[in-house]
Amino acid sequence: MQVDIWSDVVCPWCYIGKRRFESALAEFEGRDDVRVVWHSFELDPSAPRRREQPTIEYLASKYGMPLAQAQQMEDNVTSVASAEGLTYDLANTKSGNSFDAHRLIHFAAANGKQDEMKERLLAAYFTEGKAISDAATLVELAEQVGLDRDEAVAVLGSDAFAAEVRGDEGTAQQLGISGVPFFVFEQKYGVSGAQSSEVFARVLAQVADDAMAVASSPPTH
């Protein structure tokens, strides 16, 4: 079974959705036969390389809400993340463009380290307050998951994997994906949002049952 997931490394619900999906997958009998593929999605493709404005102020202006309401939103998502074992420090996130981080995930995928790179970037951004739009930081994170430093420097200094990122985003448009996380099971079942682990568990079971039914049905002539 293949599960394609569109998400952004600066999306708080994407990290929560990843954990909830992983919890369901850990309990799924056929987990060893599940292949997870991460796809690029930028919440704000026009974001500057580094946004100097505090995240909370940016959120308030983006959604046209008072600072107190934006703070309440942040506190809520931090609490939800905590219930999934994640430690968010949203006040210290260094907001910026995520395009290069997505290119790095594709580079990691080409070296069999896609999931590790995705996880490392999410933790760096949401928990450690690292600037994931900064090339030196990205190289450091790539090295930490076992990728070659010089290769990572070369990738980030070029336009390598830019076409792959744009390709993912183009596919998302074709599928009508306007928000993330978005999960596609076996290229036919779509699940939108950071659903509960129970929902993901039900979908995994249903997709597996459907595949078994197809495999055991007599051939048609």
Q: Is this prediction's pTM over 0.85?
A: yes
- State the chain's mean pLDDT as an integer: 95
C-alpha separations of 25 from 33, 79, 105, 116 in Å: 11, 23, 21, 16
C-alpha separations of 139 from 36, 37, 91, 144, 149 in Å: 24, 22, 24, 9, 6
Give CA–CA dist 194/19, Å, rounded.
Answer: 9
Least confident of 35-39, 48-52, 178-182: 48-52
Task: Answer whether 101's CB lies under 8 Å from 124's CB.
Answer: no
Give CA–CA dist 106/100, Å, rounded.
Answer: 10
* Residue 31 clears pLDDT 80, i.e. is over it: yes
* Angle at which helices 197-216 and 12-27 cross, to 10°: 50
Helices and strands counted in the chain (H then E): 9, 4
Name the more confident of 203 and 188. 203
- Per the DSSP assignment, residues forming a β-bridge with 182 are 6, 192
Domains and CATH numbers, the chain: 2-208 (3.40.30.10)
pLDDT of the residue at 198: 98
Q: Which of 14, 19, 2 is nearest to 179 (CA)?
A: 14
Written as six digits, the tokens of 220 are 């048609």
Confidence of residue 55 (pLDDT cuts 50, 70, 90): confident
